[in-house]
Chains A and B, each alone.
Chain A
Amino acid sequence: MLDVQKHGSTTTIKPLKDLVSQESTGFLSAVKGLDLSMSKTLVVDFCQVTLIDSMGLGALIATYNTLKAQGQSIKVIKIHPEVFGLMKNMGLDRHFDILPL
Chain B
Amino acid sequence: MKYLVFPAQLPSVERICEDLLNSLLSGLSKKDRFNLSLLLRESLNNAVLHGCRCDPRKFITFSYEDREETFWFQVEDQGPGFNWRLQKTRAPSIDQSDGRGFSIFLHYSQSFHYNEKGNCLEILYRFHDPRRN
Contacts and interface: CB of A to CB of B under 8 A. Distances in A.
A31 interface: no
State the main secondary structure of chain A at its contact with B: helix
Interface stretch (A5-13, A36-44, A70-78, A90-98): A90-98
A89 B94 CA distance: 12
A21 B96 contact: no
A65 B95 contact: yes
Interface string A56-90: 01110110110000000000000000110010011
Interface residues of B, number: 24
Contacts, number: 57
Interface stretch (B34-42, B78-86, B114-122): B34-42
A86 B31 CA distance: 11
A65 B104 CA distance: 21
Counting contact residues on chain A (CB < 8 A from B), the size range is 20 to 34
B89 interface: no
Interface of A: 20-22, 50-51, 53-55, 57-59, 61-62, 64-65, 82-83, 86, 89-92, 94-95
9 contacts: A21-B10, A22-B10, A51-B37, A53-B42, A53-B45, A54-B104, A86-B104, A89-B107, A94-B94
